[in-house]
Structure 1
Amino acid sequence: MERPAKKRRYDDTLLVVVIILAGIGLILLYSTSAYNGETKFHDSFYYLKKQGFATLLGIAGMFIVARIDYHRWVPLANLGYLAAIALSVAVILVGDEYNGSKRWLSLGPLSFQPSEFAKVAVILFLACLITKNVKKMDKFRTLIKVMLPVLPIVGLVGASNLSTAIIILGIAVVLVFVASPKYAQFIWMGAAAAAFLTVFLALESYRLERLAIWRNPEQYEKGYQTLQGLYAIGSGGLFGRGLGQSVQKLGFLPEAQNDMIFSIICEELGLVGASIIILLFLILIWRFFVIATRAKDLLGAMIASGAMAHMMIQVILNIAVVTNTIPNTGITLPFISYGGTSVVFLLLEMGLVLSVSNLVE
């Protein structure tokens, strides 16, 4: 008698929330970017069409990756790590500069942001490295051994994209923290990170200038974007002006569809709408946690924990920047801010986590 075919089952809540966020992201992006698209490209759908194509591509990739056993990616982890370093070097040497930031590589008519690939590559690489060294994670030298390979990527990415470098370093710290049975040694790591950050900020005057702008944005010309974002948040009130009714996106808030999109969400949908978006991200992070705790092995737990750290750090930092809680570092809001490379690799990362969540009945 033949055994019934094995049926694949994924974390339905995670999948539904990802699809909802991707769909809401497209709606909010169009609302935020229509004016800029019409003004710059004579097409109010310009940004939506590009983001929509990237989202569909990412969703297709997500389902493909979700069907692949995540253990099959282990042999490619080192290659992905080396590719991330090579692409980061290429950005420094031959990268394209937009709006004063050198973060992109051009591949014919397409532009590609290697730092987004680096986030996923680091999660997979560290998950494999920690799994190999799990029995020695109580030793400080093992923590150093695990963290050292991340520093070249952090340094290379940080040369042109400090915000992404902070996220990558944060992902690494969280993964090591989760895998380590001893927590006291993280005091030394925290002290070393604080010293490194102090030196890193002091190397470039513009980084120190950002601190001054953060403290008194009204006294600096570069504080204009921050102030306009705060005006948008304050004018939204409890229920907002209504979807599509933002005033600040009409040229007052530069490039509103990018890092500062959360301020337009607050203006149009108010505190209630912004809270719903935050709630969706909290559900997403909660599902990552559940998947990590129920994973079949350590590798799966590390992959889910890496995705959880990535989402948690990026969402918190973006909202903190928009509300001027921390200095402006140019961090996008996952699934919602404009960026084709970002949404594609985010969705591929979600596919990897769905693969971990896969249960066989």
Structure 2
Amino acid sequence: MKRLEKRANLDYVLLIVLVMLIGAGLVLLYSTSAYNGQNKFQDAYYYVKKQGAATVLGVIGMLIIAKIDYHKWIPFANLGYLVSIILSVLVMLVGEEYNGSKRWLSLGPLSFQPSEFSKVAIILFLACLISGQKKCVDNWHSMLRLMLPVLPVTALVGASNLSTAIIILGIAVVLIFVASPKYIQFIWMGILGIGFMAIFLALESYRLERLAIWRNPEQYEKGYQTLQGLYAIGSGGLFGRGIGQSVQKLGFLPEAQNDMIFSIICEELGLFGAGMIIILFLILIWRFFIIAINAKDLLGALIVTGAMAHMMIQVILNIAVVTNSIPNTGITLPFISYGGTSVLFLLLEMGLVLSVSNLVR
């Protein structure tokens, strides 16, 4: 009877939206990547097969985690945090470089991005840390005590992947913000964060160059990808050219299946199709909110809030980059952009959210 009760509480709306996003993602990935796959690997299905394999593993992991009481992960929170630091150090020492960025670790024929694991690890670690506080998070001392463990991970990840470091830092700020009854200190935290980012950008000339490219992409060779993405968005119109009919993916837009896939969605499906994808993400975020406010305890609410912050930040930043609203930072669109590690850990994260939805008040 208890098992039936848990199943009744499973958020099926969230599951349906996830299935729709995963399905749409695989179709759109095939449409976007078939040309590159055929040219580079003589297999039009190359990218979608790898993404499909990671998706199957992720779905299996998600369903298993969804059935486990999320409180059972508390003893592993500190271990996950330590592993994320170790993996980030290993990336710096023996990581593989691709397109000028060292972000991958290889295990034989397999490779993965440890930064994706770090996102999930930080969510669980901070949720356990905050929920275990005996005192309320209402002063600078308690806030700094919570932020300090996040900074080493952020710095190590940011050394090779600034965009993921921003997401991790954003998740941490949102979780602490939700747990704090006072808001004035977050203004000062924002000012300090802007100062930190300014120093971080100034340390490497290529980061400052990205700002210049963002302002005037037509004046720089590296602005080519941004311009081609904007051409794709502009040529899609209201209803697009039709699925599979993109011109920009035919070698004009580099690595179209990765960070810039939203521009191909706009070209093939138009404003209407792109809007439908955004609506699916909005429904997903809405379900996170509903689960969080009905969670059995603070730990559950914080886990879901962390996942919600992760999804919101990543979707907003990806679309902002594609539309050149912010400088190019190399952020994937969840469940849609090519990236086996990304989709695998996102689905495991969704398993945690579903686990919380199983135990509501």
- TM interval, shorter chain, is over 0.9
Report the 3-state secondary structure (helix = DSSP H, G, I; strand = E; otherwise coil) of the residue aligned with 1:248.
Answer: coil
- Cα 1:4–1:359 shift into 2, 3 Å: closer
The aligned counterpart of 1:226 is: 226
Q: Tell me the residue number matched to 1:7.
A: 5
- The 5 Å alignment of 1:334-345 reads 334-345=334-345
Q: How far apart in 2 are the matches of 1:349 and 1:113?
A: 15
What secondary structure is seen at the aligned counterpart in 2 of 1:332?
coil
Q: Size of the alignment, in residue pairs?
A: 359
Matched, 1:94 2:86: no
Corresponding residue of 1:119: 119
In the alignment, is residue 302 of structure 1 matched against residue 302 of structure 2?
Answer: yes
**TM-score of the superposition, structure 1-length normalised?**
0.98
Deviation at 1:136, TM superposition (A): 2.8
SS at match of 2:97: strand
Cα distance in 1 between the residues matched to 2:35 and 2:304: 38
Q: CA deviation at 1:4?
A: 7.1
> Could you tell me which amino acid in structure 1 is paired with residue 325 of structure 2?
T
Aligned to 2:181: 181
| Separation in structure 2 between the aligned mates of residue 12 and residue 220 of structure 1, nearest angstrom | 48
Question: What is residue 320 of structure 1 aligned with on the other side?
Answer: 320
Between stretches 137-146 and 225-234, larger displacement belongs to 137-146
Deviation sequence 1:188-219 (CA, Å, 0-9, x none): 11111011000000000000000000000000
Structure 2 residue runs without a partner (length 5+): none
Q: Which residues of 2 match residues 270-289 of structure 1 at below 5 A?
A: 270-289=270-289
Could you tell me whether the CA contact under 8 Å between 1:133 and 1:142 is conserved in 2?
A: no
Distance 1:263 1:298 in 2: 39
Shift of residue 139, structure 1, vs aligned partner: 1.8
Of residues 351-360 and 224-233 in structure 1, the stretch that sits farther from structure 2 once superposed is 351-360
Task: Return the alpha-carbon distance in structure 2 between the equivalents of residues 4 and 83 of structure 1.
Answer: 35
String of CA shifts for 1:257-308, please: whole Å, max 9, x gaps: 0000000000000000000000000000000011100000000000000000
**Residues 360 and 19 of structure 1: is their aligned pair in 2 closer, same or farther, counting only changes over 3 Å?**
same
In structure 1, the partner of 2:216 is 216
**Which amino acid is the alignment partner of residue 163 of structure 1?**
S
In structure 1, distance between residues paired with 2:135 and 2:181:
10
Q: How far apart, CA to CA, are the structure 1 residues paired with 2:66 and 2:228?
A: 41
Say whether the 8 Å CA contact 1:96–1:106 is kept in structure 2.
yes
Cα 1:242–1:184 change in 2 (3 A) is same
Task: Quote how far apart the aligned CAs of 1:353 are.
Answer: 0.2
CA drift of 1:232 comes to 0.1
Structure 1 letter corresponding to 2:5: K
Question: After the TM superposition, which residues 130-279 of structure 1 pair with which residues of structure 2 at under 5 Å, given as runs?
Answer: 130-133=130-133, 135-279=135-279
Q: Is the 8 A contact 2:95 2:106 kept in 1?
A: yes
Cα distance per residue 1:122-144 (max 9 Å; x no partner): 00000000001262301210000
Q: Give how far 1:360 is off.
A: 7.7
Three-state SS of the structure 1 residue aligned to 2:135 is helix
Return the offset for 1:8.
2.3
CA 5–116 in structure 1, closer or farther in 2 if over 3 Å, else same: closer
Residue type at the aligned position of 1:119: K
Residue number in structure 2 paired with 1:108: 108
CA contact (8 A) 1:240 1:266 kept: yes
Aligned residue type for 1:306 = G
In the TM superposition, 1:22-61 aligns within 5 A as: 22-61=22-61
1:244: Cα distance to partner?
0.3
In structure 1, how many angstroms separate the alpha carbons of the residues matched to 2:167 and 2:316?
11
> Could you say if the C-alpha distance between residues 33 and 136 of structure 1 is closer, same or farther in structure 2, counting changes exceeding 3 Å?
same
- Distance in 2 (CA, whole Å) between partners of 1:37 and 1:360 is 45
**1:219/1:355 Cα in 2 relative to 1: closer, same or farther (>3 Å)?**
same
* 8 A contact 1:230–1:263 mirrored in 2: yes
> Aligned AA for 1:261?
I
SS of corresponding position for 2:104: strand
Q: Distance in 2 between matches of 1:243 and 1:38?
A: 18
What is the alpha-carbon root mean square deviation over aligned residues? 1.1
Amino acid at match of 1:121: A
Name stretches of at least 5 consecutive residues in structure 1 with no aligned partner: none
TM-superposition CA deviations, 1:199-246 (whole Å, max 9, x none): 000000000000000000000000000000000000000000000000
Contact 1:134 1:179 in 2 (8 A): no
Q: CA deviation at 1:45?
A: 0.3
Distance 1:73 1:307 in 2: 16
C-alpha distance in 1, partners of 2:24/2:182? 41
The one-letter amino acid of 1:26's match is L
For residues 116 and 4 of structure 2, the distance between their equivalents in structure 1, rounded to whole angstroms, comes to 34
After TM superposition, the score normalised by the length of structure 2 is: 0.98
Within 5 A, what are the aligned runs for 1:61-76? 61-76=61-76
